[in-house]
Amino acid sequence: MTYRLRIFFGGDIAKDGNIDNSVRYAASKFAHIHFTTLESHKQNLIKLGEEEFRIFVIGNPGLDKFFETEYLPKEEVTTNIGMTIKGNDKYCVLIQHPIINEVEEQSKHIRHTLDAILESGMKCFINYPNSDAGYFPIIEAYNEYTSKFSNLKLFNNLDRVNYINLLRYASCLLGNSSSGILEAPTLHLPVINIGNRQRGRFSSNNVIFVDNDKEQIIKAINKALYDSEFISLIKNTPNPYGDGNSSNKVVEILSSIELNNKLIYKNITY
């Protein structure tokens, strides 16, 4: 077998009990070339026995399209998605995915989040969760709350251009999406990461980790919206996951690699 396999995001790790860690680990052992997002991820792969010459730190390639996304005025974005935001009115975005080992608690968890948002008085744009086990109770709660409260707007699948521009003008992002870890720092956007998902991943100082607890979420919202020291800090912090130039780095690296037996036949270093 002489296929040369390349993998992105190897060495990344979260301490949330999700299956992603196992998938990344397994895929990494098959790969001949690794493109990691951070230097620490490279070191994790080396600890797994991967040879250092195979590993290249390039940042997060997802940021390339993020930087290229069309810039839309705030009024156009809110018109596109069907909710009026006046002047400097604050709004948040919510993306909360299920966790496969917390299925029975999903309904309770999402209701804590929604109740905290309602208490804040903000309008909120809600995107559907992914389809992992436990997503249905989340959607049920969304349908229930959005039918009662006009300041909550639910989307099945918001397109990328409007999504990124919606984040651009938001006061904060809530939930447990990797977007809060990987992309939101580019926008200097406060993120309230709720629950166990994404715990243990390297994050910038824009991320506030809280439990699935209404009072903790409310406290974090107040910090994101009104703590001038926190807001100033994140506005002056670059995104540790890159600057939107990962694709060019990949092209340059691949064009310089010699496709020989040394690359094909892997040695485990331990």
Structure tokens at 137: 């109770």
CA angle 71, 250, 61 (to 5 degrees): 35
Identify the H or E element spanning 250. helix 246-256
Residue 1: predicted pLDDT = 47
**What are 76-84's contacts with CB under 8 Å, separation 24+?**
77/162, 77/165, 77/166, 77/168, 77/169, 80/162, 81/125, 81/153, 81/155, 81/158, 81/162, 81/166, 82/153, 83/123, 83/125, 83/153
The C-alpha atoms of residue 202 and residue 12 are separated, in whole angstroms, by 9
pLDDT in tens, 213-266: 999 999 999 999 999 999 999 998 999 999 999 999 999 999 998 888 888 888
Contacts of 37 (CB under 8 A, 6+ apart): 8, 9, 12, 57, 58, 59, 60, 182, 241, 242
Record the pTM. 0.90
Structure tokens at 196: 């166990």
pLDDT of 204 higher than 50: yes
Q: How many CA atoms lie within 13 A of 237 on its CB side?
A: 20
Indicate the pLDDT class of residue 153, thresholds 50, 70 and 90.
very high
pLDDT of 2 higher than 60: no
Residue 210: predicted pLDDT = 98
How far the first Cα of the chain sits from its last, in Å, is 24
DSSP state of 87: T
The C-alpha atoms of residue 47 and residue 42 are separated, in whole angstroms, by 9
Q: Which regions of the chain carry the CATH code 3.40.50.2000?
A: 71-235
pLDDT in tens, 49-93: 999 999 999 999 999 999 999 999 998 998 888 888 887 889 999
- Rounded to whole angstroms, what are the CA distances from 232 to 221, 228, 229? 16, 6, 5
Residue 161: predicted pLDDT = 94
* CATH dotted code for 71-235: 3.40.50.2000
